[in-house]
């Protein structure tokens, strides 16, 4: 799911980022709309009415769009940009990932804990390895990215814990199918804002 990929089929439509000027698949972009009071509003679910304004799911791109007046330029009118817009987007994406993983757990598509995750990896059941950004590097290094799968380290231990009804979780895994593709999409966007935990050399690679 490379954000830099070029795929023109209808399942992966493209939009232009107002900050970078690049055209890329929507999955790597954040949609914004202008609210009734001419305020910029994140539309993470891409369901709000109005013409969409798109920015790459990247902290530098979002900060450039907010600081350089690019939303007003794109909207062709003066708009108000909340001072905490980047934080709103980051927090909103984190909540979406947490909620999706929680739903996946309830359908039996997600497990947590070192031994359970290691078992899924060994059996080839895991499609995605999730590891807390603030977890021990030594402990995380004992697990591996699923063959043909993905690794994400964009959630903290407390955030990942929320998905599993615990105070904190360091290791989690998702099976293929169900909500896993949606988790991959949202975790990819969140990673663009937070960056990967550099302690895992296989981070996010297929």
Residue in this structure with the two tokens 């959630």, named with its chain if needed:
155
DSSP structural state of residue 65: H
Residue in this structure with the two tokens 């895994």, named with its chain if needed:
173
Q: So what's the pLDDT on residue 195?
A: 82
Q: Which two tokens stand for residue 196?
A: 């990967």
Q: So what's the pLDDT on residue 12?
A: 80
The pLDDT averaged over each successive group of 10 residues in the chain (206 residues) is 40 93 96 96 97 97 97 97 97 98 98 98 98 96 97 98 98 97 97 69 38
This prediction's pTM: 0.88
Percent helix, strand, coil in the chain, to 5, is 35, 20, 45
Q: So what's the pLDDT on residue 7?
A: 39
Task: Give, in degrees to the nearest 5, the angle at Cα 91 between 108 and 79.
Answer: 135
Beta-bridge partner residues of 129: 151, 173
Residue in this structure with the two tokens 């979780």, named with its chain if needed:
169
CA distance 191 to 186: 9
Kindly provide the b/e burial profile for residues 30-52, where b requires at least 16 CB atoms within 10 angstroms of the residue's own CB.
Answer: bbbbbeeeeebbbbbeeeeeeeb
Q: So what's the pLDDT on residue 196?
A: 59
């Amino acid at each position: 799911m490379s954000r830099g990929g070029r795929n023109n089929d209808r399942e992966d439509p493209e939009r232009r980022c107002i900050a970078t000027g690049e055209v890329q698949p929507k999955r790597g972009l954040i949609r914004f709309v202008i609210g009734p009071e001419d305020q910029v509003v994140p539309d993470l679910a891409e369901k709000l009415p109005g013409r969409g304004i798109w920015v790459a799911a990247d902290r530098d791109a979002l900060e450039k769009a907010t600081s350089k007046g690019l939303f007003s330029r794109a909207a062709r009118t003066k708009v108000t940009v909340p001072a905490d817009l980047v934080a709103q987007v980051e927090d909103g994406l984190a909540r979406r990932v947490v909620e999706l993983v929680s739903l996946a757990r309830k359908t039996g598509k997600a497990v947590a804990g070192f031994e359970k995750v290691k078992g899924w990896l060994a059996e080839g059941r895991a499609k995605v390895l999730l590891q807390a950004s603030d977890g021990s590097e030594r402990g995380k290094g004992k697990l591996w990215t699923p063959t043909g799968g993905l690794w994400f380290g964009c959630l903290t231990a407390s955030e990942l814990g929320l998905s599993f009804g615990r105070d904190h979780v360091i290791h989690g895994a998702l099976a293929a199918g169900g909500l896993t593709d949606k988790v991959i999409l949202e975790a990819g966007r969140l990673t663009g804002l937070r960056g990967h935990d550099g302690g895992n050399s296989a981070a996010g690679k297929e």
